[in-house]
Each structure stands twice: as structure tokens, then as C-alpha cells.
DNA sequence: AAGTAAGTCGAGGTATGCCTCAACTTCTTC
DNA sequence: GAAGAAGTTGAGGCATACCTCGACTTACTT
């Protein structure tokens, strides 16, 4: 339906998406749009011509990246061992976040105004829900761990990832290991009110 | 040594500290200084007259707040049960952070350029170190938990606290409970490299 | 009560980043 | 290759926040 772009416009659009992916990846979703335009070798006006809002740009990039998570989740669901599937999924998600500050922001809910991104996140959460249920059913994941706790975990780890990126880029793995040990059914103690 | 302030200046200084405490508490350490001046009923020039940099203002407020942590830590060290002391300290720290976004920023290392604050944090860490050692010695805290993991935990929880403050102000307690269950010696599994 | 040091004020300069639009350039079509 | 549609440009207006400085006001001293 949308009429085809002129050749140069299509080229510029690609350059913009490319630059945006890099800049968002390095600096997060609130990186200055002017830097994206600069890196794309294009004027700020052209950026706005293609993507009238920051959300539009985000929506053009991140749903596909989030979809990668769904693939990881699908593989995890195929794992014989429900616990191993769950942990591999979680580790996979954070490993991706560690390489891409934009994805990090995207998953931790900043810019949830970007409709396509929000939709993709819902898809990812759906898979997470299934992995959680399966790991609980197998008796390996503690019974009181819920979907909302998964979201909380994403918040927690996203900060750790960002904060330690320069100094100790593997710190998040240690932190996650501790956390996962607390999620095993046999480690569970009642949550104090 | 510093000659005494004129009466009105001392009053303004107090009003500024008061306003800054509230504004930092609500909005974090990067709150606009002009709002602090406004809330103090004083001009921006007066703010700069008393506190030439943001750091000076932070240093005038937060060392005392961080010192509260040391008191909590001292109480925790007095607890018969080393594990209970450790967990009470941790919970105490985060409970304070939950009430004060400024303290939250302060402890998670933003504005570590503020010398007095950094010093106070070092003091707090010293206590944490002792609590950790004691809880490990008692065989209750897992042996591979280190001081740097405590710092990582602070990063993690600070984000959870901030993010959930509006929607679910108790989410951090759940998250912390899971995490602490993973810190018990009997829950510990080797950390994957 | 006057003189002066101390303190206050706030308009305005600087910087960053958002976003627009009228003039210009380039592609495509016939 | 001319005309028109499509796309690009970047200066400039807007907003926020930082920070300064010269004119003004107030408190203290004698």
C-alpha cells in the first residue's frame, strides 16, 4: 500500500536505520537524534522526514531484535530439562541486553510508547510465562515465582549490565547466578510479608 | 575557622538544604537546581552563592544520611545471629533507599564526584564488609559472595526500587527475598565461569 | 543613624536537544 | 531533456537547565 520510495530515499532510510541501530546500541534509546542523523551522513530534517518521532524509529528497529528473544525462548521450550530451558532463556536475554544498550532500555520498559516494541515485548513475555509454568510444573522452579518477578528481574539486571559494562562486563553473570540459586524450589523459603 | 554567616544567610542556607533534601528525595540527584531554589523561596543566584556546585550541595546533605546506614550496620553487627544481622542490614539499606531517590542515586554511585559522599560510602562499605565476613564465618552466607557482589546488589535493587515505586512499591522486597535465598550457603552452587 | 561588608537578585549568556519549514536539489516519468 | 513530484537541507525557533555578574538590598558595627 505505501507507495515505493525513491531510490535515494530508500538508501537514506537504510543508512538511518543502520546508524540508529549503532547509536542506540551504544548510548541507549534516549541518544540524541541529531547524532543518528550525523552518523548516517544525512540532515536532521531527513531523519524527521522518514521517522517523524523517536518512537517510529524505535519501532522500525526493535521489534525484530525482540523477536530474537522469542526464538531463544522457543529453543528453551524445546529443552528436555525445564529448569535448564528456563535458565538458558534468562541468560540469553541478558547476554543480548549486554551487547545492546538500546535493547536494554527497550526491555526494561523505557519508551513503552513505541507500539510495535510494546507488542513484541508482550510476545516475549508470553514465552517467558510458558517457560516459567513449565519449570514450576517440573518442580525445579520455586512455586511463588511469577511473571511479574520476571519483569522485576529484568529491571534489576538491566541496571547491573549498564553499570558494570565498562569496569566488569561479566558482573551480571555472577549476579544472575546468585539470583538463580534463589529461584530453585529447594532453596525457597516463604517470602516475608 | 569559616567566619559565621550573617543571620539571613544562615536562614537561607537552611531553607536551601531543606528544599534540596526534599527535591533530591523526590526526583533524584539530577533534579534541576532551579527547582530547589524555587522551593526554598530563594533565587538561583543565592543557591550558587552558598553551594557553587551540585556536588557541594550533595556533600552538605548526604554524608549524614549515609551515616544512618552505618548506625544500622552497627546494630546489625550486634545481632547474635550473623545471618539475621546481614539480612537486616541489607533490608534496612534498601528501605531507606525506597524512601529517598536521592539516597538511591547516592548509593548506586552516581555523583561519586562528591567527595564527602564518596567518603561516607566507603565507611558504609567497611561495615558491609564486616557483616559479610561474619555471616560467611558463621557458615550461613555462601562463601563466594564478595564485597563487589554487594555493590552489584545495590545497583540491581536501586533500579527495582525506582522502577516499581509508583506501581508496586513493595516489589523490591519480593525481589530481595529471592535473592537472599540464593545467598544462603546451602543454596549455593558453583558459579559458572 | 550612617557606613560598609555581606548577601541577594534575576536577567541574560551558554549549551544541548527537539522539531519545523521554506528554499533547494534530485529522481523519475513521459 | 523538461516538468513535476519526491526528497533533502540546515538555519532557526522552542524549551530546558546550567551558571555568572553587576545592580540592588540587608544586616551588623560603631
| pLDDT tens digits, one per residue of B148-168 | 999 999 999 999 999 999 999
Q: Which residues of B touch A142 (CB under 8 A)?
A: 178
Residue B19, C-beta contacts closer than 8 angstroms, at least 6 positions apart: B36, B37, B39, B40
Residues at the strand D interface (CB under 7 A)?
Answer: A 3, 5-6, 8-9, 12, 42-46, 48-50; B 6-8, 30, 32-34, 44-45, 48, 52-54
Q: Cα-Cα-Cα-Cα dihedral of A29, B168, B66, B15, to 10°? A: 90
Residue A164: closest C-alpha in chain B: B152
Q: Which nucleotide in the DNA or RNA is closest to residue B46, CA to C1'?
A: C8
Residue B2 has pLDDT above 80, yes or no: no
Q: State how far the Cα of B40 lies from the Cα of A79, in Å rounded to an integer.
A: 60
Cα torsion angle, B69, B163, A62, A50, sign: negative
Q: Give the pLDDT confidence of B119-152 residue by residue, as tens digits.
A: 999 999 999 999 999 999 999 999 999 999 999 9
Measured CA to CA, the distance from residue A35 to residue A19 in angstroms comes to: 9
Q: How far apart are the first and last CA of chain B?
A: 55
Residue B182: pLDDT over 80 = yes
Mean pLDDT score of chain B: 96
| Per-residue exposure over B4-14, b if at least 16 CB sit within 10 Å of its own CB, e if not | eeeeeeeebbe
Residue pair B175/B160 in contact (Cβ under 8 Å)? The answer is: yes
**Whole-number distance in Å between A30 CA and D9 C1':** 24
- The most distant pair of C-alpha atoms in chain A lies apart, rounded to whole Å, by 62
pLDDT tens digits along A105-142: 999 988 889 999 999 999 999 999 999 999 999 999 99
The CB density around residue B47, as the number of other CB atoms within 10 Å, is 22
Instruction: Give B174→chain A minimum CA distance, Å.
Output: 7
Residues of A in Cβ contact (< 8 Å) with B192: 173, 177
Angle ∠(A25,B32,B9) on CA atoms, nearest 5: 150
CB contact under 8 A, A192 and B177: yes
pLDDT at B110 over 90: no
Q: Which of A160, A31, A155, A117 is nearest to B149 (CA)?
A: A160
| DSSP code, position B4 | P
* D strand bases under 7 Å from protein CB: 6-12, 16-22, 26-28
For the segment B28-50, the average pLDDT, to the nearest whole number, is: 98
Q: Which nucleotide is nearest to B11 (CA to C1')?
A: C7
Residue A156 to residue B152, Cβ atoms within 8 A? no
Instruction: Write down the pLDDT at residue B18.
Output: 98
* Average pLDDT for B21-33: 98
**Distance (Å) from the C-alpha of residue A64 to the closest C-alpha of chain B?**
25
Whether the per-residue pLDDT at A2 is higher than 70: the answer is: no
SS (H, E, C) B145-177: CCHHHHHHHHHHHHHHHHHHCCCCCCHHHHHHH
Q: What is the pLDDT of residues A145-189, one digit of tens each?
A: 999 999 999 999 999 999 999 999 999 999 999 999 999 999 999
Nearest Cα to Cα of residue B50 among B116, B40, B25: B40
- ipTM for the predicted complex: 0.94
pLDDT band at B44 (very low <50, low <70, confident <90, very high): very high
Amino acid at each position: 500500500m505505501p507507495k515505493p520510495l525513491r531510490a535515494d530515499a530508500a538508501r537514506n532510510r537504510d543508512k538511518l536505520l543502520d546508524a540508529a541501530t549503532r547509536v542506540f546500541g551504544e548510548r541507549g534509546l534516549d541518544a540524541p537524534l541529531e547524532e543518528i542523523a550525523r552518523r548516517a551522513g544525512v540532515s536532521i530534517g531527513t531523519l524527521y522526514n522518514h521517522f517523524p518521532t523517536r518512537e517510529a524509529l524505535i519501532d522500525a528497529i526493535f521489534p525484530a531484535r525482540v523477536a530474537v528473544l522469542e526464538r531463544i525462548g522457543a529453543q528453551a521450550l524445546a529443552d528436555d530439562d525445564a529448569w535448564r530451558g528456563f535458565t538458558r532463556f534468562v541468560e540469553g536475554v541478558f547476554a543480548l541486553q549486554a551487547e545492546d544498550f538500546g535493547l536494554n532500555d527497550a526491555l526494561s520498559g523505557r519508551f513503552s510508547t513505541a507500539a510495535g516494541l510494546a507488542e513484541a515485548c508482550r510476545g516475549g513475555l508470553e514465552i517467558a510465562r510458558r517457560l516459567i509454568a513449565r519449570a514450576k510444573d517440573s518442580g525445579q522452579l520455586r512455586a511463588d515465582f511469577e511473571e511479574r518477578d520476571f519483569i522485576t528481574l529484568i529491571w534489576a539486571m538491566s541496571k547491573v549490565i549498564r553499570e558494570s559494562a565498562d569496569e566488569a562486563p561479566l558482573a551480571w553473570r555472577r549476579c544472575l547466578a546468585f539470583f538463580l540459586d534463589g529461584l530453585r524450589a529447594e532453596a525457597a523459603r516463604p517470602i516475608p510479608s
